[in-house]
Chain A
Amino acid sequence: AQSVAQPEDQVKVAEGNPLTVKCTYSVSGNPYLFWYVQYPNRGLQFLLKYITGDNLVKGSYGFEAEFNKSQTSFHLKKPSALVSDSALYFCAVRDLNRGYNKLIFGAGTRLAVHP
């Protein structure tokens, strides 16, 4: 079965410090990987995706993610965190068994950036 895991329920960082939100995946075949962010009372906003190509993917709001096939990981990173980055972050993988547009999400990681 295809799945993603976000091993940390919460990540706390100080403003200005680098942040990492972890994600590992399990798929049969080449993965399509995504990061979304959710602010309170809002839907999900797309941050970035990995389909193929460079292992380092750059996305919105200064975020980037590194695809590591040997470690089956797709960690989200940002060089310098902002208080406004505090939100719920979801890693997702496309369901390759059924194709089309179904996404399988991780449980989410709550990022707290303190001043």
Chain B
Amino acid sequence: KAGVTQTPRYLIKTRGQQVTLSCSPISGHRSVSWYQQTPGQGLQFLFEYFSETQRNKGNFPGRFSGRQFSNSRSEMNVSTLELGDSALYLCASSPAGGSLGSYNEQFFGPGTRLTVL
């Protein structure tokens, strides 16, 4: 089975621009989560989508948004980029809905390295 794929792998933008990152989960996986990784803040949860619905959101400003399509592929968008948005953005997929009674580990993609100049 192919793993989680993320495109593009590297991106350079300037302040004020917007960017869209894409994530294709493992076939059959319906849950997609996004994380931001920076040297200063570490790994922080952005949001999670399941069956095209956002059901969990981290503490990020409204400039960060996402969506999920019917084929489970997901995109995240960052508008009005700031220098502090430079980070590695990781996508993770999981087969299950993650009810409290059960849990499946998440599988991460290689990430998109975003640099804001």
Contacts and interface: CB of A to CB of B under 8 A. Distances in A.
Chain A interface size range = 20 to 34
A43 B106 CA distance: 12
A102 B110 contact: no
Nearest to A6: B42
A101 B108 contact: no
Interface in A72-115: 90, 94-96, 98-108
A102 B45 contact: yes
Contacts of B87: none
Q: Would you call the interface of chain B mostly helix, strand, loop, or mixed? A: strand
Nearest to B3: A43
Contact of A101 (B4, B31, B90): B31
Given A105-B43, A107-B42, A100 B48 contact: yes
Interface string B92-111: 10100111100101111111
A9 B18 CA distance: 34
B45 A43 contact: no
B22 interface: no
Contacts of A32: 103
Interface of B: 4, 6, 31, 33, 35, 42-43, 45, 48, 50, 55-56, 58, 90, 92, 94, 97-100, 103, 105-111
